[in-house]
Structure formats: C-alpha cells, structure tokens
A and B are shown apart, each in its own frame.
Chain A
Amino acid sequence: MDTVAAHESAMHDAHAHDHHDHHHQETFISKYIFSMDHKMIARQFLITGIIWAIIGGLFSVIFRLQLGDPNATYPWLEDFLGHWAKGGKLNPEFYYALVTMHGTILVFFVLTAGLSGTFANFLIPLQIGARDMASPMLNMLSYWFFFLASVIMMSSLFVQTGPASGGWTIYPPLSALGEASSGSKIGMDLWLVSMSFFIVSSLLGGLNYITTVLNLRTKGMSMTRMPLTVWALFFTAVLGVLSFPVLLSGAILLLFDRNLGTSFYLSDIIVAGKVLPNEGGSAILFQHLFWFLGHPEVYIILLPAMGMSSEILSVNSRKPIFGYMAMVGSLFAITILAFLVWAHHMFVTGLNPFLGSVFVLLTLLIAVPSAIKVFNWLTTIWKGNIRFTPGMLFAIGFVSLFISGGLTGIFLGNSALDVHLHDTYFVIAHFHIVMGVASFFGMYAGVYHWFPKMFGRYLNNTLAYIHFWVTIIGAYLIFWPMHYEGLAGMPRRYYDFSNWESFKQFGELNQFISLVALIVFAVQILFVINFFYSIFKGRKVTTLNPWGANTLEWTTPIRPGHGNWPGELPEVHRWPYDYAKDGKEFIAQDVPVGADESKH
C-alpha cells in the first residue's frame, strides 16, 4: 500500500495543474512562453524548428549560387552578407561556414529538435491517453535548453570570424585548433557550447518520452495496442538517450583540446610552419566518438518520419496497417543495428579491413528491417480506399524517397565501393534523399495531418498540393543527378569545380540543380506562409475526428485544454488499426469490443 500511496502523491504532483488550469485564467506568459502543456511545448518546438529550417534552407540556396555558377557575381549578396561576399562573390571561408551551418541546423535543430521535439511532445500523451508528460517541468526545460542552444548557435553567425566552418561533423584538427581557420575560432567554441545545451535538451526530452510511454498509458493501452507513431517516437528517444551522451563526451575532450592544451585528438601538427607541442593524440578517436552518435542520429531523424507515415498511410488507405508486429520488430531491429554500424562512415580512415567487413555486414543487415517496412507500407496502401490528402501525399512521398535513397545505401555500405564513393556527391545524394528529404516529407506529412489537432484549423489544400508536387519533383531533380556527379568522382565540400577539367562537364548540370533548389526553396516559403496564415485564418475544424482516425487524440475536444480530456481518460479496447472491419469504415480505440465482432 505504501508504494501505491507514493505513486498517488507523485502522480498528483505531475497532474496537479489539471485542476487549476481548468479553473484559473492563465497569463500570457504561463500559457504561451513558459508553458508546461505538452501541446504548447510541441508548438514551440515546431515554430522554432520552422524558423531554423528557413535559415538552414536559405544557406543552401546561397551556397548553391556559388556552386551553380562559380564565376558569377551577385552585387546584392554584398549588401546582404557584407565582407563575406565582397564584390558579390561568396568568400571561400564563408562558403565552408555556410555548408557547416546548413548541416548542423538541418540535422540537429530542424530534423532532431523540430521533428522529435514537436511530434513526440504532441503525440505521445495524446495517443497513449495521458494528461501530460511524466514531468511537465523537465519538458519545459527541454524546450528552453533548446532555445538557449538556438540563441547561442544563432549568435555564432554574427561573430567577426564567422561561425564554425569545419563541416557539421567538426572533425579535428580543424575544429580543435583555433589557428586552423577563421571558422575554427570563437565560432567553433560557440558551436560546442550550443551543442552541449542542445544535448541536454535532447536528453531531458528523451527521458520524458520514454518514461511517459512506459508509465502513463491509459487503461487498456497495452504496449501492443500503441499506434506505430508512439513506438517509433519511443525508439527514437531510446536512441537519443544512449547515443547523445557519447557525443557529449567527445565534445568535452574537444573543448579540453581547444582551450586547455590537452592532446586527445592532436599529434604531430604543423600550422603555418610552426610545430605544435601536441603529441600522442588521435584524430580518428574523435571520429569514433562522433559517429557513435552520428549514425544513431540518422535514425533519430528517420524513425519519427517512419512512425508518422505508417499511421497516416493506414488512416488514409482506410485499411489496417499491414504487419503491425513486424513493423514494431523492424523498428526495434533498426534501433539495435543503429548502434553497431558507425564505422561505415570511416572506411577510408585506415580501418582494419577485417573490422571493415564486419561493419559492412552489419550495415547491409539494416536493409532487412528497412525492406520489411517498405513492403508493409506498400501492402498497407495496396487496394486501399485511398484519400489523397496532403498528409497522405507526403507520406507516400516519404516511402518513395526512402526506397530511392535506401538503395544507394547498399552501395555505400559496401566498403569496396565506398572507398571510391566516399566524400563524393554520391554520398550527398544518398543521405539527402534518404535522411534529409525523406524525413522532411515525414515531418510535412505529420504537420498536414495533425495541424487540425494542433491549431483547430485546416491548412489550405491548394497550396499544399503545389507544395507537395513541386517539392517531390524538385527534390529528385536536385539530388538524382548528384549520383552521376559522385560516380564521376566529384568531391563534396569543394568551393569551385570549374578549375578541374574532369568536372567541367557538370557545369550546366550544377547550374540546373541550383535553379531547381531555388524553386524548391521558394515553395517551402509558400508552405510557411500557408502555415502561419492558417493558424489564424484557416478553415475551422468543426468535427472531432476529421480524418476518421482510430487513435485517441481525436477523442479530445477540437481545441483540447491542458489535461487533454475534460472528463475521465478514455479506456482502450482495441489496437489502433481497425479500419474496414465488419462493414464499418473505422472503429476508434475507445470503442468496446462487440460480442459478435470478428478478430483482426
């Protein structure tokens, strides 16, 4: 009894706000700024993520200007960037800063915080029938640590020597020696400090998501009745909680090397004719620590997109998801394998070939759960009564991109081929399609699908269709040709390809890619306009369950308050995928099982 009593008192703490929130008028600050409501925190993550996405996307457009036509000058760039674009031509140092920040922003600030932060916060409590996260306080702190990280990263854009410019993977010695380049100076310190706060934010979030899923499910919501979205967000959190600390330890050692004269990563270095005293360090050690996070990070970005797409594909095909347990099993398999493949980023570091072949095998194994997922998505929509809502289109787009990008992963996972393709545009094409654009599609699918629940209004459909078609065609037009450039040996991160005879053939292709990138970016701005316009002026949601979905979030009021359900929590009687069953279009999870109901 003792433990039960303890539970009660603490659960009461966790949910004490339920009571007063319904009775008291909240202030602007407690409702919109320092909110502890998971739905508001989700919106904060989403909007911060969108702002970052605009900045990160804009950076790519600017460096594509350089790549598309290395000899052109754009006088307006100087007005905009000052001494970084003297005479309208991008400074090489700043070009590296742009690619570094583009990677950092999109990988961490948009597709990790913006994606998991938004949807884990929004969907986990709503879909498992909880009033809020296990610790709303930690949840709020998670956002504010992210905000702090954002402010620091943003301020690094404005320091005189510029932001970090050694690539988003911040390999030493470039990142460890202030004298190595202008982007290795204060910009790099700010990068490290910002990322440390970011890691804290991500850990606080992850702890909360895992505890909430394991502990706060409503009555009847067994683990095997959870929507695949929640499963995916759960495994994402597990990945983050176990891999981010290792990056933190790597970053701490890097901070020591930078500022306290240690030699964890440094040995036998000469900068500008001066021999540095550092001895005994190993730059490869950093790569191990970095990629031990870096590879799981890929799945931290992908799994939420997988989970949301599974859900949206099933809802809009009006069919149960095909192979629910196989879907959960493959998510689990991917989570385990994600920790065992990091060295496939390091095939050209002089890795022992035997060890290399072990990593090849483990890497190629990921194709198995990935293929299971793809076939299950396809069989889910097979002969379905498909509704092409914008969310559905983006979910289908996700599957398409995941297949296209996944297949080139089989090339790169093979060390014999990777030695040739490493650090070429083939890699750029591969990971942008499979991880970048695919996850963006998952995120868009989620935004279009759950926007009505988030804001009580719909997004404009016409703009959404334009957004989808231009983006998917554009994404393929941008990244497909890069495979050919990569196969021809065109290296990534180069500032100007026009000096190489062998790459001159790609001049026009690069121009074309840049043009499409510009158009695709413009269409994303259209989405942003649609997003913010619809928050205030979109068509109002008038039914509780606009998509006819089974999951619990649609049993809440149209604009749920803090606590989500005004009365008692719903009780769950079935899995979330009872579509087209016993002559009914859909049966929500809180509907009791009828006496003569068939088994699914």
Chain B
Amino acid sequence: MEREEIITKNKIHPHKLTLWIGIGSIVMMFAGLTSAYIVKRNQAGWVSYDLPMAFWYSTIVILLSSATIYLADKSFRSRAMGNYRRWMTVTAVLGIVFMVIQYVGFKAFWSQGMTLQANVAYSFLYVIVGLHALHVAGGVISLIVMSLMAFSKKKRVYSTVPVELIGTYWHFVDALWIYLLIFLILIR
C-alpha cells in the first residue's frame, strides 16, 4: 500500500524540499542583515575597513571542504564506505579549521582597535560573519554525527538522503560565505 502511494508521485524527497525551504529562510535572515548593512553604510559615521587576511585562507578551506563532501557523497553512492568515512571526516575537520581561521581573523581585526563596539561597521562584520560561522558549526555537528554513525558497525544505512541533505546544506553555507565575502569587499 505504502509502495503504491509513493511510486505514483516521483517528486523531490520531502526532507530535501524541507531543507530547500529552510535554506530560503536562512537566506532571508542574511538578506535582512545585509540590507540593514547597506542602509547603515549610507548614513553618517560609517567607516570603511579592509577584511582580515585570514578570511581569504578560510575561503580556500571552505571551498576545499565543498570538494571533499562531494567526494564523500560520490563514495557513498558507489558504496565505497571506507572512502566515504574518510571524506566525511576530512570535511568535518575542514569545517572546524574554517571556524578556527574565522576566529583568528576576528582576533586580528579586534587587536587593530576594530572592536565590536568601536563602530557600527565593525559590529555588522562580527554579527554577520559570526552568524555564518554558527551555521557552519551546525553543519559540522551533523557531519560529526554522520561520520560516527558511518564508523559504527551496528547500523547500516543505505538511504542516500541524509548524505544528500548534508551535502546540499554544506554547499549552501559555502555559497553563503562566498556571497558574504564578495558583499563585504564590494560594499564597505
């Protein structure tokens, strides 16, 4: 009975659809923040600044991690579970490295006198980049959980959905970072 119900509808998987709508929702939050940023930039008291060098390194790291999660997804599909576990772990590590570099960038920025309270321009940078890092952290936690599950001998997972979900989300936080980086460089 269940089988019949499903085969009649060859639609996108409900969990994936939910994720896409959720991504739309996150986009709206950052759209709200970046438009507030644009409004504020056109008002008195705004100061321009250069992004910390570290953000360029973190960009390379997160781009790399998008490649590794793609490889993880590919390995899972061909049931190369050893490779899958390896790439998932590498991606999680790269995610953590990304957050560490962001923190290092913040620290360098802060030590140059550009503290959270010094100017609204800096406040925006901390809030926007910080919130993005939180979204990366969410992804890292899911990656760690999935990697641990992949190492567990007891459970065998055959559905590709969780892997696709985390893959989509991870590419999204990557793309979101690229957008934010370009935004922060062009509009300052």
Q: Interface on A for B, CB 8 Å cutoff?
A: 2-4, 6-12, 14-15, 18, 134-135, 138, 203, 206-208, 210-212, 214-216, 218-219, 241-246, 248-250, 252-253, 256, 260-264, 267, 279-282, 285, 288-289, 292, 568-569
Contact = CB atoms under 8 A, between A and B. Distances in A.
B7 A10 contact: no
B8 interface: yes
B117 A261 contact: yes
A598 B119 CA distance: 71
Contact of A208 (B13, B18, B28): B18
Given A280-B45, A285-B40, A292-B32, A211 B17 contact: yes
Contacts of A248: 29, 32
Nearest to B164: A6
B33 to A, nearest CB: 5
Contacts of A245: 25-26, 28-29, 32
B127 interface: yes
13 contacts: A2-B160, A8-B2, A8-B6, A10-B15, A206-B25, A210-B17, A215-B9, A215-B14, A256-B127, A261-B117, A262-B120, A280-B44, A285-B40
Interface of B: 1-3, 5-15, 17-18, 21-22, 24-26, 28-33, 36, 39-40, 43-46, 116-117, 119-120, 123-124, 127, 131, 158-161
Contacts of A244: 25
Nearest to A281: B120
Given A243-B28, A249-B33, A285-B39, A4 B10 contact: yes
Contacts of A242: 24-25, 28
B11 A215 contact: yes
A36 to B, nearest CB: 15
Given A134-B18, A215-B11, A285-B39, 5 more contacts: A207-B25, A214-B17, A253-B33, A262-B120, A569-B5
Given A4-B7, A12-B2, A249-B29, A260 B116 contact: yes
B28 A207 contact: no
Given A210-B21, A282-B40, A263 B14 contact: no
Contacts of B12: 215
B32 A246 contact: yes
B180 to A, nearest CB: 13
Contacts of A264: 36, 40, 120, 123-124
Nearest to A252: B127
From B29, B32, B160, name the one whose CB has the most chain A CB atoms within 10 angstroms.
Answer: B32
Contacts of A218: 5
Contacts of A267: 45
A245 B131 CA distance: 13
A288 B33 CA distance: 11
A233 to B, nearest CB: 15
Given A10-B159, A245-B25, A264-B123, A288 B14 contact: no
B21 A207 contact: yes
A394 to B, nearest CB: 32
B2 A288 contact: no
Query: Which 3 A-B pairs have CB atoms at the shortest separation, nearest pair first?
Result: A280-B45, A245-B29, A246-B32
B43 A282 contact: yes
A569 B178 CA distance: 46
A349 to B, nearest CB: 13
A221 B117 CA distance: 55
A211 B161 contact: no
A215 B17 contact: yes
Nearest to B27: A245
Contact of B120 (A9, A219, A280): A280
Contacts of A2: 160
Contacts of A246: 28-29, 31-32
A11 B159 contact: no
Nearest to B131: A252
B39 A9 contact: no
A216 B14 CA distance: 8
A202 to B, nearest CB: 10
Contacts of B44: 280
Contact of B25 (A3, A241, A281, A285): A241
B43 A8 contact: no
A3 to B, nearest CB: 7
B32 A207 contact: no
A490 B28 CA distance: 38
Contacts of A282: 39-40, 43
B49 to A, nearest CB: 14
B25 A134 contact: no
Given A8-B3, A252-B127, A211 B116 contact: no
Given A252-B131, A263-B117, A280-B44, A135 B14 contact: yes
Contacts of A253: 33, 36, 127
A556 to B, nearest CB: 16
Contacts of A289: 32, 36
Contacts of B131: 252
A207 B22 contact: yes
A294 to B, nearest CB: 13
A135 B15 contact: yes
Given A6-B159, A249-B29, A249-B33, A203 B22 contact: yes
A280 B13 contact: no
B153 to A, nearest CB: 21
A7 B13 contact: yes
Contact of A211 (B10, B18, B36): B18
B135 to A, nearest CB: 12
Contacts of A279: 45
Contacts of B159: 6, 9-10
Contacts of A262: 116-117, 120, 123, 127
Contacts of A12: 2
A484 to B, nearest CB: 38
A203 B27 CA distance: 13
Contacts of B8: 219
Contacts of A210: 17-18, 21
Contacts of B2: 8, 11-12, 15, 18
B171 to A, nearest CB: 19
A264 B43 CA distance: 12
B24 A6 contact: no
A261 B127 contact: no
A211 B45 contact: no
Given A211-B17, A242-B25, A282-B40, A6 B161 contact: yes
Nearest to A257: B123
Nearest to A249: B32
Contacts of B123: 256, 262-264
Q: Which of the listed residues A6, A245, A260 has the most CB atoms from chain B within 10 Å of its own CB?
A: A245
Contacts of B40: 264, 280, 282, 285
A176 B128 CA distance: 20
B25 A219 contact: no
B187 to A, nearest CB: 16
A246 B36 CA distance: 10
A12 B1 CA distance: 11
Which of B12, B21, B31 has the largest count of A CB atoms less than 10 A from its CB? B21
Contact of B21 (A10, A11, A241): A241
